[in-house]
Amino acid sequence: MEENKKTCLHSCHVAQGALMSPFGGFDMPIQYRGIVEEHNAVRNECGVFDVSHMGEVMVTGDDATRFVNYIFSNDVDAAQPGQCLYGMMLHGDGGVVDDLLVYKFNENKYLLVINASNIAKDEAWITERMNDDNPDTPGKPFRVDVEMLSEVTAELAIQGPTAEKVVEEVLGIGCSDLTFYTFKETKFSGHDVLISRTGYTGEDGFEVYGGDADIVEMWRLLMESKRCEPCGLGCRDTLRFEVGLPLYGDELADSITPVEACLTMFVKLDKAPFMGRDAVAAQKAAGAPRKLVGLELADRAIPRHGYEVLDEADEVVGYVTTGYHSISTDKSVAMALVDTRCAAMGTPLKVRIRKKTFPCTVVGKKFYKKSYKK
């Protein structure tokens, strides 16, 4: 059995007593002091995450914009240099290969940040797409170079209301000039790093990409400052869930489309032809058979991934994708993929938790208000 990979911060996590567990092929910290404490630190002050397990792919060349627009659901042609975009890579049938961030340096250079659990799959899919016909020049492949940077790139996510001050005062990296979903290249200890005003928590924050040595030094400075809490993947999930952000493998998958996941705002059907466009357009026009919804339980029981959702006649109409007793709202809530006929707000449903069923109501998927700095 292949051993899980380790990030450059692995020894730091172990030394700090983190509970370690496999995730996406890496040995990652799940929690340090506790999920509740770490969650609240991000909501109220600042937390720092090792997200060096994420994958990075650089696309360059004369056809970089055309190629990224072809494999990505959002429209990079309309973006300005220095802007980040969220979107998806789609199969021909509209299912999601992965969701990702795309960083636009210029018309000939883009960074794609992909999910750790999908690195091998995504890299193979992207490489295969390079040989597809360029829609602008039929019969000719795209003129691009694709460089896999996952092995040489580490990443920190510094998140929370005080993140800007922490980054500027502790790391000495100017970031107050960055607006939401923008990035820049800068220096740390004389080395090139990239910083973006992005995150996965619903709070203001930053993601910093650099070499292993620089990320380790940043972690050391942040820990010594006592101004931010080390956070594991446990609270990363509770934080993203509360604000309705999807996780690949739960709310998105090869078999789940952007229409079903209610993410068509990130699929620009009016741009040049791209992978999965026709399938998404057809499903959007006809209506999806399933829809991702929020559920709120009257009970404190916790609905978990995979638990069945039933209608009032006890017919199974879907399943829970993610569920928690929300730390920020003290409510038992879930996201679930259900038959569209059961997706209207206020619809009474039930969740089967072990051998009992618990009544619930369809609500909005954002259980907690985001606090981004726009």
Is the pLDDT at 1 greater than 60? The verdict is no
Round the average pLDDT of the chain to a whole number and report it: 96
Give the mean model confidence (pLDDT) for residues 58-83.
97
Identity of the residue numbered 240:
R
**pLDDT band at 92; cut points 50, 70, 90:** very high
Closest CA to 200 of 232, 164, 239, 233: 239
- The stretch 74-90 carries a mean pLDDT of 98
Residue 139 reports pLDDT greater than 80: no
pLDDT of residue 2: 66
Question: Residue range 287-306: average pLDDT?
Answer: 96
pLDDT at 9 over 90: yes
247, 48, 45, 233: which is closest to 157 by C-alpha? Answer: 48
Question: CA–CA separation, 66 vs 141, rounded Å?
Answer: 11
pLDDT of residue 12: 98
Q: What is the pTM of this model?
A: 0.96
228/211 Cα distance (integer angstroms): 21
Give the Cα separation of 337 and 23 in Å (integer): 23
Nearest to 171 by CA among 102, 121, 224: 224
Report d(CA 209, CA 206) in Å as an integer: 10
Predicted local distance difference test score (pLDDT) of residue 131 = 86
Domains and CATH numbers, the chain: 10-52+153-242 (3.30.1360.120), 55-150 (3.30.70.1400), 289-363 (2.40.30.110)
Spatial distance between the Cα atoms of 228 and 165, rounded to a whole number of angstroms: 11
What is the distance between the alpha carbons of residues 323 and 304, in angstroms, rounded to a whole number?
A: 5
Report the range of poorest mean pLDDT among 2-11, 161-170, 249-258: 2-11
Q: What is the pLDDT of residues 29-46, one digit of tens each?
A: 999 999 999 999 999 999
pLDDT at 3: 82
Report the pLDDT averaged over residues 241-250. Answer: 97
Euclidean distance between CA atoms 370 and 52, whole angstroms = 24
